[in-house]
């Protein structure tokens, strides 16, 4: 949230942005292909899938929770949508059902965590496994293909030269930014993460806030899943595996605290872009994908360590 608390607050918040600019600067010097309009859009399109999941994850992490099931929610909800489309259902209806199912999976997480009082890590670890299993059951372990051509528009189309996934990402970003910054629900999310007991004693239904937050995470995971399915022109039973980790990394890189109550969604967008640009830049430099993992992990660790030393 763009809530600036004092001068040091501004500086602290600018950290991720400075990091992003630095990486862009270095890569543009090393490789002249990097800073071209075509490549930038290419990067943003790759970023959009992770960014959408990470936006939802930001809400969850702000309440001091975690959602490990997002990758599985992506796979199961998009499998539902693809299955319906493949058997001739109207695409819009199928997408609606897919997104709704993903939201409900998030609601299940929220209910287990808020009402069942299960630790978020454990609860979503379990549902991650369950939803992945259900995806394999539903798809019989095979990709779902034969999707209508028009559906491809969502993930592969362009609007005024801008790739559609980027449009979806920006729309979601705008909406979530407003919710987090300007609504009382957004305020409740921060308060809950900062001090759950004080929030509850202030007469706020903390269970409801938690359930909503996980539902939002499920909603965004399923939207991301639909876009991925459209881009690949098929629903893969193993789609989204380990995507939760990239999403968590984006949130943390953006400066949101894993202990809740502190952070902002702008940072998450920057964090997702840092991860995406790093992937793209290392590809352009022909770095082997094995080394890419090492570099990516190293950058995440470095960023968090820098953030730590600043906070003290």
> Can you give the binding site for another protein, defined by CB under 8 A?
3-6, 182-185, 187-188, 190-191, 194-195, 197-205, 261-262
| Residue nearer to another protein on the CB measure, 150 or 201 | 201
Q: Are 81 and 97 in contact (CB under 8 A)?
A: yes
Distance CA 155, CA 231 (A): 5
User: From the CB of 222, what's the least distance to another protein, in Å?
Assistant: 23
Task: Report the residue number, 196 or 246, with the smaller CB distance to another protein.
Answer: 196
* Smallest separation (angstroms) from another protein to the CB of 5: 6
Take residue 84 and report the two structure tokens written for it: 């319906």
Closest to another protein by CB, 231 or 262: 262
Q: How far from the centroid of its chain's Cα atoms is residue 102's Cα?
A: 14
CB nearer to another protein: pick between 148 and 194: 194
Measured between its terminal Cα atoms, the distance across the chain in Å is 22
Of the pair 5, 142, the CB lying nearest another protein is at 5
Partners of 235 in beta bridges: 144
Shortest distance in whole angstroms from residue 46 CB to another protein: 33
* Structure tokens given for 7: 């001068």
The three-point CA angle 172-233-292 to 5° equals 70
Nearer to another protein, 181 or 296 (CB): 181
Rounded to a whole number of angstroms, the minimum distance from the CB of residue 12 to another protein is 13
Structure tokens at 173: 């970003």
Alpha carbons within 13 angstroms on the beta-carbon side of residue 117 total: 0
Please give the Cα distance from 259 to 254 (Å, whole number).
14
Q: What is the closest distance, in whole angstroms, from the C-beta atom of residue 3 to another protein in the complex?
A: 8
DSSP state of 111: H
Contact between 294 and 39 (Cβ < 8 Å): no
Q: Quote the least distance from Cβ 192 to another protein, whole Å.
A: 9
Nearer to another protein, 163 or 255 (CB): 255
Burial (Cβ within 10 Å: 0-12, 13-18, ≥19) of residue 257:
middle
The minimum distance between CB 286 and another protein, in angstroms, equals 44
Q: What is the DSSP string of 51-87?
A: HHHHHHHHHHHHTT---TTHHHHHHHHHHHHHHHHHT
């Amino acid at each position: 949230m763009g809530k600036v608390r004092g001068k040091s607050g501004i500086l602290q918040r600018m950290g991720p942005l400075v990091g992003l600019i630095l990486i862009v600067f270095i890569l543009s010097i090393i490789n002249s292909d990097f800073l071209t309009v075509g490549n930038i859009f290419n990067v943003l399109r790759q970023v959009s899938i992770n960014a959408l999941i990470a936006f939802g994850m930001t809400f969850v992490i702000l309440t001091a929770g975690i959602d490990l099931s997002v990758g599985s929610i992506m796979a199961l909800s998009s499998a539902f949508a693809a299955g319906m489309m493949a058997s001739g259902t109207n695409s819009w209806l199928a997408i609606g059902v897919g997104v709704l199912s993903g939201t409900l999976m998030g609601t299940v997480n929220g209910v287990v965590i808020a009402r069942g009082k299960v630790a978020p890590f454990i609860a979503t670890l379990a549902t991650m496994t369950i939803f992945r299993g259900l995806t394999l059951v539903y798809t019989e372990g095979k990709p779902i293909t034969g999707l209508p051509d028009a559906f491809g528009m969502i993930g592969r189309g362009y609007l005024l030269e801008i790739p559609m996934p980027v449009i979806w990402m920006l729309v979601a970003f705008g909406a979530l930014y407003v919710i987090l910054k300007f609504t009382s629900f957004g305020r409740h999310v921060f308060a809950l993460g900062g001090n759950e007991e004080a929030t509850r004693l202030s007469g706020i239904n903390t269970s409801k806030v938690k359930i909503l937050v996980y539902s939002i995470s499920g909603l965004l995971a399923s939207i991301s899943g639909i876009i991925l399915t459209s881009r690949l022109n098929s629903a893969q039973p193993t789609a989204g595996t380990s995507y939760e980790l990239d999403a968590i990394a984006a949130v943390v890189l953006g400066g949101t605290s894993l202990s809740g109550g502190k952070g902002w969604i702008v940072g998450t967008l920057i964090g997702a872009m840092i991860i995406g640009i790093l992937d793209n830049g290392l590809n352009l430099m022909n770095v082997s994908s094995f080394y890419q993992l090492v570099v990516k992990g190293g950058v995440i660790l470095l960023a968090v360590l820098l953030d730590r030393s600043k906070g003290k």
